[in-house]
Amino acid sequence: MERRSETLSPARRAAAGKLAALGGLLLAVFLLSFCLGRYGVPLSQVVRVLLYRLGAVLGGLLDRLPGVEAGPLFPMEVTWTGQMETVVLSIRLPRILLACLVGCCLSAAGSAYQGIFQNPMASPDILGASSGAAFGAALAILLGGSRRTVTLSAFFFSLLTVALVYLLAARAPGKRVLNLVLSGIMVSSLFTSATSYIKLVADPTNQLPEITYWLMGSLSATRTADVRYALLPMALGLVPLFLLRWRVNLLTLGDEEARTMGVHTNRLRLALALCATLVTAASISVSGMIGWVGLVVPHLGRRLVGNDYRALLPASMLFGAVFLLAVDNVSRNLLATEIPIGILTAFIGAPFFLYLMLRKGGLR
């Protein structure tokens, strides 16, 4: 029997090569990030510490299997100090991982929203997730909540805001997509006003600075618990987005033509929007307000791999992780006092978006 060999088109092969290059760039920035900081750690020691710990964890998992005694998978001589190990594993690893996760999620959400609404200006906060999270965090700080309470409150109100937007859009007559956008603008305005009132009545000595700093976005004081908390909702949103990415291309054909191909466009938009909202809420709840990532990075991805979402969504995820990790490295090393990362993303993102808009071809 003759076997058929499926070959990728030249465009798909080129996109795959660019995705591989982005993956390599992410790995390089990931490793170099451990070397940056007040306490320098050589790259060779960083790699050894990470491999040793990874081998110990994997070996411990294998040891739980009946009849298996694996031990450490990467045994090696300890050439690093205890202080180096603490800096790499307890201080920098959680922050670096969270920067990658948040950048990946915000970029994926922005790319998905731009496909859902067929609008190059769509961003992760288009349905009010950011304003709801800001209100939830400010309310928890005003009530004297712990760091975990602030995170949970931001996550809850972010999802609640989007649910309210969907409820209003469903009850309003007219086009569903337009109603979603208008409802998001209205509800965002209400929650932004409520956040402003909380800032007005907050204690100006302690609570107001904490609220203001949260609203500027920061990854400082990131703990392993923050990564564990955000990982599950991020995965629950990212995996369906990745698996459904090829269907986003069908939305560009128009609702009627997509239905003839067996795709229920309203259900598809709802599923994609829910997944994008979930990863946005999880990201904002642990990092604070970080803007422009979900708006600018998808356009960079389009410049690199084109408009095909089979390649665009992975490119946006990788690009977003690299971008936010690089910006976070600047925020914690540029000055003696750490700069909130939300300030830097806006400082970099706004001029770059203007450049994309004014250059030949404009936004795509």
- Tell me the two tokens of residue 116: 């859902």
Q: So what's the pLDDT on residue 249?
A: 86
Q: pLDDT-based confidence at 179, cuts 50/70/90? A: confident
Residues 111-156: tens digit of each pLDDT: 999 998 888 888 888 888 999 999 999 999 999 999 889 999 999 9
As to burial, measured by CB atoms within 10 angstroms (0-12 exposed, 13-18 middle, 19+ buried), residue 138 is buried
Q: pLDDT-based confidence at 2, cuts 50/70/90? A: very low
The whole-angstrom separation of Cα 147 and Cα 341 is 18
- Tell me the two tokens of residue 131: 């304003």
Average pLDDT over residues 26-50: 93
Cβ–Cβ < 8 Å for 134, 195: yes
Average pLDDT over residues 16-42: 94
- Tell me the two tokens of residue 285: 């709840």
Is 60's pLDDT higher than 80? Answer: no
- More confident call, 174 vs 212: 212
Q: So what's the pLDDT on residue 1?
A: 39
Q: So what's the pLDDT on residue 65?
A: 73
Residues 275-314: tens digit of each pLDDT: 999 999 999 999 999 988 999 999 999 989 988 999 999 9
The pTM score is 0.91
Q: pLDDT-based confidence at 360, cuts 50/70/90? A: low
Q: What is the DSSP string of 298-342?
A: HHHHHHHH-S-HHHHHHHHHHHHHHHHHHHHHHHHHSSSSPPPHH
Q: What is the DSSP string of 50-78?
A: HHHHHHHHHHHHHHTSTT-----SS----
Q: What is the DSSP string of 161-202?
A: HHHHHHHHHHHSSS-HHHHHHHHHHHHHHHHHHHHHHHHHHS
Q: So what's the pLDDT on residue 85?
A: 93
Closest by CA to 134, choosing from 189, 205, 182, 97, is: 189
How big is the chain, counted in residues? Answer: 364
Alpha-carbon dihedral sign for residues 337, 343, 349, 355? negative
Q: What are phi and psi of 68, to 5 degrees?
A: -115, 130
Q: So what's the pLDDT on residue 57?
A: 82
Domains and CATH numbers, the chain: 30-84 (no CATH), 100-354 (1.10.3470.10)
The whole-angstrom separation of Cα 166 and Cα 158 is 13
Closest by CA to 98, choosing from 184, 213, 223, is: 223
- More confident call, 15 vs 318: 318
Q: What is the share, in percent, of the chain residues with pLDDT greater than 70?
A: 94
Q: So what's the pLDDT on residue 88?
A: 94
Is 20's pLDDT higher than 90? Answer: yes
Average pLDDT over residues 237-256: 86
Is 223's pLDDT higher than 50? Answer: yes
Ramachandran region, residue 175 (left: φ > 0; alpha: ψ -120 to 50; beta: rest):
beta
Residues 93-115: tens digit of each pLDDT: 999 999 999 999 999 999 999 99
